[in-house]
């Protein structure tokens, strides 16, 4: 039971910065609630790791992460989640965007997101693809690498494109 309470505490912190930003925009108080489901959960408190395997799905407000394996790593001292790793058939949906890739790593303390392996980000008809997309949310900078392939992007030029907007 204690193990599950620790996991619940960890999970509730995963996307808290995202929720706070959204709540501030909506004028609502921060809920911090996240729902995670999977076929299996393994927790290693010695290593500070919780691993959800088998059709894992994490939902908070308008953010949905689906993958085969979702790993949460937490800081030894604070017991707060500092890294979230989604692997195998990763699909992330938020606002009006969707991203697919082989692996996604979100570092909460650095406010950075790395999408790797066959990355495709879509927003309506707009598309961005490459082998790696790195997003620094603190500076609002993005980097896309082709790694042997080409970086491809399709955007509307009639009005402001939102494919490259990564808001907290």
Q: Are 89 and 67 in contact (CB under 8 A)?
A: yes
In eight-state DSSP terms, residue 24 is H
- Two tokens, residue 47: 């290593």
What does each C-alpha distance from 61 to 3, 17, 33, 134 come to in angstroms? 25, 12, 8, 23
Nearest alpha carbon to residue 10 among 75, 65, 59:
75
Bridge partners of residue 66, in order along the sequence? 57, 91
Q: Are 17 and 167 in contact (CB under 8 A)?
A: no
- Of 2.60.450.10, 3.40.640.10, 3.30.930.10, 2.60.40.10, the CATH number of 2-154 is 2.60.450.10
Print pLDDT tens along the chain (168 aa).
Answer: 344 333 333 343 333 334 444 444 444 334 556 688 999 999 998 899 999 999 999 887 788 999 999 999 988 888 788 888 999 999 999 888 899 999 999 888 888 889 999 999 998 888 889 999 998 888 888 889 987 778 888 887 766 555 555 555
Bridge partners of residue 70, in order along the sequence? 52, 86
pTM: 0.72
Q: How far out from the chain centre does Cα 133 lie?
A: 13
In eight-state DSSP terms, residue 167 is -
Q: Are 58 and 67 in contact (CB under 8 A)?
A: no
For the chain, the domains span 2-154
């Amino acid at each position: 039971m204690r193990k599950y309470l620790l996991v619940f505490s960890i999970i509730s912190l995963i996307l808290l910065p995202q929720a706070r930003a959204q709540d501030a925009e909506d004028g609502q108080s921060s809920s911090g609630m996240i729902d995670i489901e999977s076929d299996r959960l393994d927790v290693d408190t010695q290593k500070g790791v919780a691993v959800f395997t088998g059709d894992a799905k994490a939902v908070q407000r308008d953010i949905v992460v689906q993958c085969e394996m979702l790993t949460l790593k937490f800081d030894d001292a604070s017991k707060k989640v500092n890294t979230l790793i989604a692997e195998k058939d990763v699909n992330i949906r938020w606002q009006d965007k969707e991203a697919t890739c082989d692996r996604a790593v979100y570092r909460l303390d650095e406010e950075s997101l790395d999408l790797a392996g066959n990355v495709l980000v879509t927003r309506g008809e707009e598309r961005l693809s490459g082998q790696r997309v790195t997003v620094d949310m603190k500076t609002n900078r993005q980097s896309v690498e082709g790694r042997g392939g080409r970086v491809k992007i399709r955007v509307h030029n009639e009005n402001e494109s939102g494919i490259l907007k990564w808001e907290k």
